[in-house]
Structure formats: C-alpha cells, structure tokens
Amino acid sequence: MNDKQASKLVVDQVSHRYGEVAVLENLTLEVKVNEVVMLVGPSGCGKTTLLDLLSGHMAPVSGKITRQGTARTVYQQDGLFPWLTVWENVGIGLRSVPDPKQRDDEIAELLELVNLTSFKNHYPHQLSGGMRQRAELARVLAGDSDILLMDEPFSALDYQARLTMRRELARVLQKRPRTVVFVTHDIEEAAQLADRVLILSKRPATICQELPITIPRPRGLADDEVVEAMRMILRALGLNNTDGVTV
C-alpha cells in the first residue's frame, strides 16, 4: 500500500455527458503520487462529475481513466449512512482493524480531531450541516486509503473550523502522505493546501489553467508567497481586481 506507484491517477482524453448535457470535454490530467491537487471552477462545471469518474463510481462516455490504489471520497452532500451513529460511521473505514481496542482508540481520536466527541452516539439526521461534514471528514481519514477525493469538504464550516480542519488535514497528510484531489471554492484553502491548482473552465469543463504551488510548508496565511498565490488564483479565475466589486 505504501508502494510509490500505488496511488497513480491518470485521466486520458476523457469526455462525459449526461444525456444532452456535455460536462467534461477531452480532459487530460495526471495526478502524481502523494500530490495534492486542488480543483477550482465555476458551479456546475463538472467538478463533482470528475471526482465520480476518478473514484470509478461512473464510467466516462469516452476516454480512459487509470487509478491505482484505493480511493475514498468526502461527498458534497450527505454521504453518511443515516442508519449508523457518528461513531459507527467513522468506524466503517476501520472494519479491517482486528483489535477492537485499537479501533476504538482511533475512532475516538478522529472524533476528537473533528470536535464531535460528545455527539458520537448521534445519528446523522440529528446533526447540523457542518457537523455532518466534519463526521464525514473523520470517516475518510480513518484507516488507510491511498487516494482522497474531497468535494468541497469544508463548505459548511465556519471560518475557525475551516482553519482547524485545514491544519489537521495537512498534519494527517504529513504523517501519512496520500494523493489528494480536492474541490474547493475557497481561494485561501487552495493556496494553503495545494501542490497544484487546476482552474476549470465553464461547462463543458476543460483545464484552462494549471498553477503549480511550490511554496514550502508550513504555509502561513499572511506569508507573502501565499498571498501572491491567492492573487494568482483569483487572476486565473478572471477576478483580477475584486477590490472594485461593490454590493
């Protein structure tokens, strides 16, 4: 599992459509092992679709996708099993751990990390939107998987929680590097976490710009390079000067 070739992701000339709606057009992309790729693009352009293709949940209409290694996804919405408690939901990634004690410890630690310890016996429908998202985050980090696909995983979190989660994710990835494809609308997030940022065009989506971000970690929010990266991303999104945006 820690084989260097284990987590390759290659997208080769992939197009996808739902009936009439063309969503991806001739997309080619290679994600390197343990690389963190952030996807940024307009709403409805096909980011979720791309993740579904990467994880193998859907087959592309044309083109080829190669995936090596096991992938897990943080879904954009409601990926928790509603019939399991938070504790049990997090536990499903650890079913293969033979020692119950070790399993329980790991679950407890993850719940601590996402600050849901006191809600471990709640069912998903008894949680707030942000809490559900955090539970899903804990679940995806449990156990061992080579690839993480994350679809706006922090979108329902408050600013502070977002910062914490970002930090924790970085910490977890440092301990156990993984290949990550991460969809976000948050420029800060992209600049702080990415090895590479891909800017997608409007639907049908193609990669209209690729920004490698080579800033050494840890990256401070106010570091010049990070601020510069953020500005770069905004520029790539066609938002050269948001300062002028008035409401």
Partner 1 sequence: MTRQSSPPSTQKVSSRLGRFSSILVLLGLILLWYGISALNLFPAYAFPSPASVLVSFQEELTAGRLLNDIVASLWRVAIGFVLAVGLGVPIGLWLGQHLQARQALVPMLNFFRFLSPLAWIPFAILWFHIGDKPAIFLIFMATFFPMTLATMVAVASIPSIYFRVAKDYNYSGIELLTQVTFPAVLPQVITALRMSYGIAWVVIVAAEMVGCQDGLGYGIWEARNGLRLDSAVCYMIVIGSLGMGIDRLFAELTKLPAVRWGYER
Ligand X SMILES: Nc1ncnc2c1ncn2[C@@H]1O[C@H](COP(=O)(O)OP(=O)(O)OP(=O)(O)O)[C@@H](O)[C@H]1O
**Residues making contact with partner 1 (CB under 8 A):** 18, 52, 55-59, 61, 70-73, 75, 77-79, 81-84, 92-93, 95, 123-125, 145
> Judged by CB under 8 A, which of 193, 205, 211, 213 binds a second copy?
193
Both tokens assigned to 153: 């995983």
Which CB atom, from 77 or from 242, has the smaller least distance to partner 1? 77
Q: Is 28 in the site for ligand X (CB under 6 A)?
A: no
Residue 11, beta-bridge partner list: 29, 65
Rounded to 5°, the CA angle 74-58-17 comes to 110
Q: Is 76 in the site for ligand X (CB under 6 A)?
A: yes
Strand pairing class (9-18; 196-200): unpaired
Site for a second copy in 80-109 (CB under 8 A): none
> Judged by CB under 8 A, which of 6, 10, 42, 84 binds a second copy?
42
Residue 117: CB atoms within 10 Å: 14
With beta carbons less than 8 A apart as the criterion, state whether 147 and 67 touch: yes
Task: Say which entry of partner 1, a second copy, ligand X, none residue 219 contacts (CB below 5 to 8 A, set by partner kind).
Answer: a second copy
User: Residue 205 has what DSSP assignment?
Assistant: B
Rounded to 5°, the CA angle 182-87-80 comes to 45
> Judged by CB under 6 A, which of 84, 127, 207, 215 binds ligand X?
127
User: Residue 243 has what DSSP assignment?
Assistant: G
Only one residue has tokens 């707030």, namely 128
Q: Is 40 in the site for a second copy (CB under 8 A)?
A: yes
Stretch that binds a second copy, among 62-70, 82-90, 94-102, 164-172 (CB under 8 A): 164-172
- The residue ranges that bind Mg ion (CB under 5 A) are 48, 76, 128-129
